[in-house]
Amino acid sequence: MNSFSFNSDILHVENVSLVKISKNVGTPLYVYSKKQFENNYNLLTSSLNKTLGKKYDILIAYSVKSNSNIAVINILNSLNSGADVVSLGELKRTLKSGISGDRIVFSGVGKTSEEMSFALDANILQFNIESIPELKMLSEIASTKGKKAPIAIRINPDINAGGHKNISTGFEGTKFGIDYKEAQEAYDYASNLKGIEIVGVDIHIGSQINDLEPFRLAYEKVSDLVFSLRDKGHNISNIDLGGGIGILYNDSDHIFSLTEYAAMLKQTVGDLGCKIILEPGRLISGNAGVLLTKIIRIKTTNKYNFLLIDAAMNDFLRPALYEANHDIIEVIKSDKNNNKKVYKIAGPICETGDVIKENCYLTNPQEGDLLAILCAGAYGASMSSTYNSRSLIPEVLVSGKKMDIIRKRISTEELISFERIPE
């Protein structure tokens, strides 16, 4: 995490101290590094360009769900990224951030007619279709507008990508995609619909994938399918390979390099002559953010030393939802000569599952100390809620010495103002 480093024993993001940010904005809050988003995007594109060469047409469609703040999407826009969206809300955010329709793909298993209509008007690059009824509805809506909707069908290749079951999507029995065995039939059906133009094939097999093999198996299946669809006369110019590249959350994680990934991509789908669309999310945003939190109380029971912090599962759901294990460090380095003790870090929410980390080794933490939950830039703020009537916490973007509040704290008073007691 090179944009987050210690300077005089205080954790900084780029050139700004996290202590200073906490004083200005209060805790808990998310803090992002602009440079880290840029580095992550540039590392991916340079690895692909080096291995594949310039002749390939590649679109990085940043997966907006991982971090959907418009300032973040705008950084990606200035790097020429496209976007992968899964709702009307994400589409509106993406357009507002400057990414044009011709660089947007629309994924998601339950698109509504309103979402389809809006996306058609925005002339998006591609709809990733997940069922025959969805195809029919899109065709009808496009026809009434006198348009043809560009589509790829999301294929479920029945591959177990590993990782937590809640983020593995490409095996039989999930709600996602159309079975690989039924793909030919689905494309034949689509080719007869008036409002549909077939442009591609799409897959997304899961998230936080740290082994190349599931990707290789899935991409080989995509390649076979493209050849057989072309044999049948279908025009396949795009392959959308989804997201899912894993990142290092802690020292025990191991992940392939992006150069190895690019070589595998070239081997499996490099000779198809297709535009290659990738939908990375956490690879771009994960290590670009931390969740800054304060210790409210230290509570010792017979079994555990609890550190109760002011961030909770409503602010950061990943540990409760996916058993995610994030490194947590002290913002001000404490005396290195002191022995570390193990703590269980929990939030104030009235749920046993509101545990942010089971075993955290820290040196003499005190009430009021600041902690940083690392690698919290992806699926952090974008998954937050107001459970237990807690406020939505702020997001701050740092660039060099400059810090900007890119989402202000949304208070309980503001949330209550949307409610009404009937007379």
Ligand X SMILES: Cc1ncc(COP(=O)(O)O)c(C=O)c1O
Binding residues for ligand X (CB under 6 A): 63, 66, 84, 107, 204, 207-208, 242-245, 279-283, 378
Shortest gap between Cβ of 61 and ligand X (angstroms)? Answer: 8
Give the DSSP letter of residue 211.
-
Nearest residue (CB) to ligand X, 146 versus 173: 173
Q: Is 53 left (phi over 0), alpha (psi -120 to 50) or beta?
A: left
Query: Which residue from 381, 406, 315, 350 is spatially nearest to 34, judged by alpha carbons?
Result: 406
> Cβ distance 126 to 238 under 8 Å?
yes
Shortest gap between Cβ of 17 and ligand X (angstroms)? Answer: 29
Residue 249, class by beta-carbon neighbours within 10 Å (0-12 exposed, 13-18 middle, 19+ buried)?
A: buried
In whole angstroms, what is the distance from residue 217 CA to residue 212 CA? 9
Nearest residue (CB) to ligand X, 39 versus 191: 39
Nearest residue (CB) to ligand X, 11 versus 376: 376
Nearest residue (CB) to ligand X, 1 versus 161: 161
- Residues 6+ positions from 23 with CB-CB distance below 8 Å: none
Residue whose Cβ sits closest to ligand X: 281
Shortest gap between Cβ of 254 and ligand X (angstroms)? Answer: 17
Q: Provide the CA 289 distance to its chain's centre, in angstroms.
A: 12
Shortest gap between Cβ of 389 and ligand X (angstroms)? Answer: 28
Shortest gap between Cβ of 124 and ligand X (angstroms)? Answer: 15
Q: Which of 274, 350, 360, 375 is catalytic?
A: 350
- Tokens (6 digits) for 253: 């994680």
How many helices (H) and strands (E) are present in the chain, helices listed first?
12, 21
**274 catalytically annotated:** no
In whole angstroms, what is the distance from residue 71 CA to residue 58 CA? 24
Nearest residue (CB) to ligand X, 195 versus 281: 281
Shortest gap between Cβ of 64 and ligand X (angstroms)? Answer: 9
Q: Provide the CA 400 distance to its chain's centre, in angstroms.
A: 24
Give the DSSP letter of residue 240.
E
Q: How far is CA 282 from CA 40, 246, 263, 289, in A?
A: 10, 7, 21, 11
Angle at which helices 113-121 and 88-96 pack, to 10 degrees? 20
Nearest residue (CB) to ligand X, 240 versus 330: 240
Query: Catalytic residue positions?
Result: 350
